[in-house]
Chains A and B, each alone.
Chain A
Amino acid sequence: MKIIALLVSVALGVILLVATNDLPEWGDPQSPASTHLSRYYIENSMEQTSVPNFVTAVLADYRGYDTMFETAVIFCAGITVLTILRRSHRRKKKDVQPRPCREGQDIILKSAARLIAPMMQLFALYVLAHGHHSPGGGFQGGVISGASFILLSIAYDLEMLLSRLKERTIMFFSGLGVLIYAGIGAICLLLGGNFLNYSSWSKILQVSEVEARSHGMLGIEIGVFITVTFIMISLYADLASGGEMDEGL
């Protein structure tokens, strides 16, 4: 079985490597992407979406499908790790690997974590909200926000985090983020536009179509933020405790 998998991946790799011959040169100014596509985004994104950072405009608006399924991929990764690693307490006795375990909690680490975690969460929200003007957005903000929770669970322990934030809640919010993203797109359909074409939101928000696209992008970034945050927490909790959710590092 492993040999078949190896053959398939090698064959696929060779095909992909051969196909790179047909790609345009690196940074070739004559390539179709540089002559039509990039110029279109650079020249038109500001007046079409009123978002100064056109990377965000491309990511969240012009290629919204791509980003939506990226979010779905993150969600699937979290679910997969949960499915593979998570064990119920009944089956746990058998093959438990000995893990390094810390006895007692460190007052210095705890105090520092208590100081840093709110700052990180605030900064995460700043990165999320400032994605329209500077590098940032849902993915980056979500990672910072997830890291703040992971920091807390390292400085205290996993049980403390999971007693404040139940597993059920974590998985609920991971799904909610994808739902917000897809829901914003679906409401566009209901309002008579195309899927993920945020300009149709102008009927609800009472703003111009250009402004509506900007606001729609913020909405989907919030969805991405929620999913990434909670999938990060879920991944850490599963991986650190070997799926048992008891002690962790």
Chain B
Amino acid sequence: MSMYLNTIVVLFTGIGWIFFLGATVGILRFPDFYTRMHAAGKGDTLSTMMILFGFAAYQLHHPDLASLLVAFKIVFIAVLIFITGPTATHAIMDAGYGSKIDHWGTRDGSVSHCLIKEDERS
């Protein structure tokens, strides 16, 4: 029983770590503001939720009332992140769009050109 539960915990947390890694690489490597925010928003929310679900599952090793309460609180945090994370990403994106930040690839249409420009700007 405990073996299966541990497998679930490791699976959830492992998937969370992988998504976290993806989000980090995305923030560092994506070419412009919008794609970077996309990576940060999507990857961060999902990976945090996965890791939290893993932690909540770990609490079920001793299924008494106290650890169930802890598991419930962790799931509650996951719900909060599910609501707030994408909303915050949306708000930042909206602010960026409002202050007219350029898209990737909109100038002259060519991708490599924009990448060079991005490098020159920094």
Taking Cβ atoms with an 8 Å cutoff, the residues of A that contact B are 102, 106, 108-109, 112, 115-116, 119
Contact = CB atoms under 8 A, between A and B. Distances in A.
B98 A116 contact: no
B65 interface: no
Range of interface residues on chain B? under 10
A222 to B, nearest CB: 24
- Where chain B touches its partner, the secondary structure class is helix
A109 B83 contact: no
A241 to B, nearest CB: 19
B84 A112 contact: yes
Contacts of B80: 116, 119
Contacts of B83: 112, 115-116
A232 to B, nearest CB: 19
B5 to A, nearest CB: 28
B113 interface: no
Interface of B: 80, 83-84, 87, 90-91, 94, 98
Contacts of A115: 83
Contacts of B98: 102
B91 A109 contact: yes
Contacts of A106: 90-91, 94
Interface centre among B80, B87, B91, B98, by most A CB within 10 Å? B87
Contacts of A116: 80, 83-84
Nearest to B91: A109
Given A102-B98, A109-B91, 12 more contacts: A106-B91, A106-B94, A108-B87, A108-B90, A109-B90, A112-B83, A112-B84, A112-B87, A116-B80, A116-B83, A116-B84, A119-B80
Nearest to B88: A112
A185 B83 CA distance: 43
17 contacts: A102-B98, A106-B90, A106-B91, A106-B94, A108-B87, A108-B90, A109-B87, A109-B90, A109-B91, A112-B83, A112-B84, A112-B87, A115-B83, A116-B80, A116-B83, A116-B84, A119-B80
